[in-house]
Structure 1
Amino acid sequence: MEEVLQQVINALSVGSIYALIALGYTMVYGIIQLINFAHGDVYMVGAFVGYWSMAVARLGFVESLALGMLACMVLGVVIERVAYKPLRNSTRIAVLITAIGMSLLLEYTMMFFVGAEAKQYPALPDFLNGTVQVAGITVRNQQLIIIGIAILLMALLQFVVRTTRVGKAMRAVSQDQDAARLMGINVDNTISATFAIGSALAGAAGVLVGIYYNSINPLMGILPGLKAFVAAVFGGIGLIPGALIGGYFIGFTETGVSAAGYSMYKDAVVFAILIVILIVKPAGLLGRDVREKV
């Protein structure tokens, strides 16, 4: 039982990271039906901003987390305005190719400035390095902080989407852009706000991964970004609760496969799940099939 509880804590930690990244995918898709494949690399940028904040600027963890989120928020808006907005009325394949190009641009721009070698996060404060005993198992403080911050950010996101003016505008634009525009909603600003919020969550995930695994590199966003996309599709892309469910499902799946002694195959299992869900229920766990007029 202690071993099971330990794996549950591990799964919650990993699943929280995937859920934070998946939220950005699902929010952007819900607004403009775009798969932003550069989103995983925004998460990578957040990890490096946190690294520079701690190693160079000597800031604390909380300040570094906030700075990473702010930097990714600005980056997300810049990407939307420069790369995606001019293609708003273009074909989906053109936008998809642009997203892949933006992903490569972020990766190799970062590699140009910092090199291809992995960077080690600086020594962490004592409150991040300690452990606590919970129900007979040893839990790292980092895991508790990751889970707590992820839950806090998810709750804050729900509050923003459900109660604030920006959130209501986002929901209106996701249903009908033309009607929202006629009602006086600034659609362009709403789309930029969606990119900003989703990118901030990815930036937070990047910093949390940095303190958890203590190693970052310019290509670190590729695989987690793809897995978070699988999580968003599994839950029902475009649906915030679906992204949360999908993120934690992928976290538990990976942890379970690794605990069973097949850690080499955990990535294959995740993508096999994507294939199965696309065959069995393409709309995802919470999604509904919607007929589209052509």
Structure 2
Amino acid sequence: MSFISYLLNGISLGSVYAIIALGYTMVYGIAKMLNFAHGDVIMIGCYIVFTMMTTMGLNPIVSILAAIVGCTVLGVVIEKIAYKPLRKASPLAVLITAIGVSYFLQNLALIIFGADTKSFTSVVNMEPLRLAGGKLVISGVTIVTVIACIVIVLALMTFIKKTKAGQAMLAVSEDKDAAQLMGVNVNKTISLTFAIGSGLAAIAGVLLCSAYPTLSPYTGSMPGIKAFTAAVFGGIGSVPGAFIGGILLGVIEILGRAYVSSQLSDAIVFAVLILVLLIKPTGILGKPIHEKV
């Protein structure tokens, strides 16, 4: 049963990566920008939940809703202040700005909350599911995380395909100038994309800290990098690709940690990414980009 347990843990961790990766893939697919401060938005969301539950004594649902609202607003502010002026700038300028925003959020958290690692209280109170006569135990956090990921991916795909705002996102992702000529508000659409991605980051952060109950100003850094890897792995710009890439990455990491080396698990994850990109540079579901001349 140990392999199945590891596999389920990998799917659970991969579900968190997938939710985070959705933020990366949406922003890149629509704004053609890489928001490397995305991982730190996760951390801010976790601190909001931690503060409201521990200091203010509020229930988990209210705390999570507050974190989603807080991170959504933060995402829009970051886009307006940091990224909007750089839409026609070089990728290097965008990268430097993203790193600057990331360090700003980390240092802001250090000033407000301190450098000490906090013990995060899980927001999931579901009893574990016991199968095979109690030999296989699936934690409540694992169940909720996997279900939440599936629901979010399906809801997001439905939103993009069936709503006017979603169609506007598709239009902007194809051609900003043409979309603007067709009456699409490009600025509003990009802001909405950042808002959705940041709101999802709050959910992912809460699920991550519920499974691994520690919180510090650097909590979101490595998960953010791995989620970006998952987005590239699955094909950045593709919502199903982010889901597949996240799940595969989580499974590879957990199995690598269990059967190869816990110290080398991160190296194994990035090695697999390099191998995939050598074979299929656009990722699993990514499409080649044809430059117009």
Q: TM-score, normalised by structure 1?
A: 0.95
Aligned AA (1:186): N
The answer (yes or no) to whether the contact 1:258–1:266 under 8 Å persists in 2 is yes
Greater mean alpha carbon deviation, residues 58-67 or residues 236-245: 58-67
Partner of 1:131: 128
Structure-to-structure mapping, 1:166-205, within 5 angstroms: 166-205=165-204
SS in 1 for 2:89: coil
**Shift in CA distance, 288/155, structure 1 to aligned 2, threshold 3 Å:** closer
Q: CA deviation at 1:281?
A: 1.7
Question: For the structure 1 residues 186 and 137, does the alpha-carbon distance in structure 2 shift closer, same or farther, using more than 3 Å as the test?
Answer: same
- Contact map agreement 2:122 2:210 (CA 8 A) in 1: no
Q: Following TM superposition, by how much is the alpha carbon of 1:140 offset from its aligned partner in structure 2, in angstroms?
A: 1.2
Query: In the alignment, does 2:245 pair up with 1:232?
Result: no
Q: Which residue of 2 aligns with 1:63?
A: 62
Distance 1:78 1:86 in 2: 12
What is the Cα-based RMSD across aligned positions, in Å? 1.5
Asked whether the equivalents of residues 50 and 207 of structure 1 are also in contact (C-alpha less than 8 Å), the reply is yes
Deviation at 1:124, TM superposition (A): 5.7
Residue 162 (structure 1) aligns with: 161
Percent sequence identity is 45
Q: 1:81-121: per-residue Cα shift (whole Å, max 9, x none)?
A: 00010112222211111011111111111111111111112
Q: Deviations over 1:229-267 (max 9, x none)?
A: 110111111111111110001010011112214111111
* Deviation digits for residues 111-165 of structure 1 (CA, Å, limit 9, x no counterpart): 111111111124767x34x322134411111211111222222222112111111
Aligned with 2:198: secondary structure?
Answer: helix
What is the aligned partner in structure 2 of residue 148 from structure 1? 147
The one-letter amino acid of 2:58's match is L
* Structure 2 stretches lacking a partner, 5+ long: none
Segment drifting more, 49-58 vs 197-206: 49-58
* Alpha-carbon distance between aligned partners in 1 of 2:4 and 2:121, rounded to the nearest angstrom: 30
Q: How many residues align?
A: 291
Q: Which range moves more in the overlay, 89-98 or 173-182?
A: 89-98
Distance 1:246 1:82, change over 3 A: same
Equivalent in the alignment of 1:32: 31
Q: What's the CA shift for 1:191?
A: 0.1
Deviation at 1:277, TM superposition (A): 2.6
SS at match of 2:130: strand
1:94–1:176 distance in 2 versus 1, CA, 3 Å:
same
Unaligned runs of 5+ in 1: none
Q: 1:273 maps to what in 2? A: 272
> Partner letter of residue 160 of structure 2?
V
Rounded to whole Å, the distance in 2 between the matches of 1:36 and 1:147 is 25
**CA distance in structure 2 between the aligned counterparts of 1:281 and 1:124, rounded to whole angstroms:** 39
Q: Which moved more, 1:155-164 or 1:12-21?
A: 155-164
* Farther-moved stretch of structure 1 (154-163 vs 23-32): 154-163
Match of 1:133, SS? strand
Distance 1:123 1:273, change over 3 A: closer
With over 3 angstroms needed to count, the CA separation of the structure-2 counterparts of 1:4 and 1:122, relative to structure 1, is closer
Q: 1:290 to 1:122 in 2, by over 3 A?
A: closer
Q: Does residue 292 of structure 1 match 2:291? A: yes
CA contact 2:11–2:250 (8 Å) conserved in 1: yes
Distance 2:131 2:161 in 1: 34
3-state secondary structure, aligned to 2:264: helix
Q: CA deviation at 1:21?
A: 0.5
Aligned partners of 1:15 and 1:251 also within 8 Å: yes
Query: What is the distance in 1 between the residues matched to 2:283 and 2:121?
Result: 40
CA–CA distance in 2 between the matches of 1:54 and 1:140?
A: 22
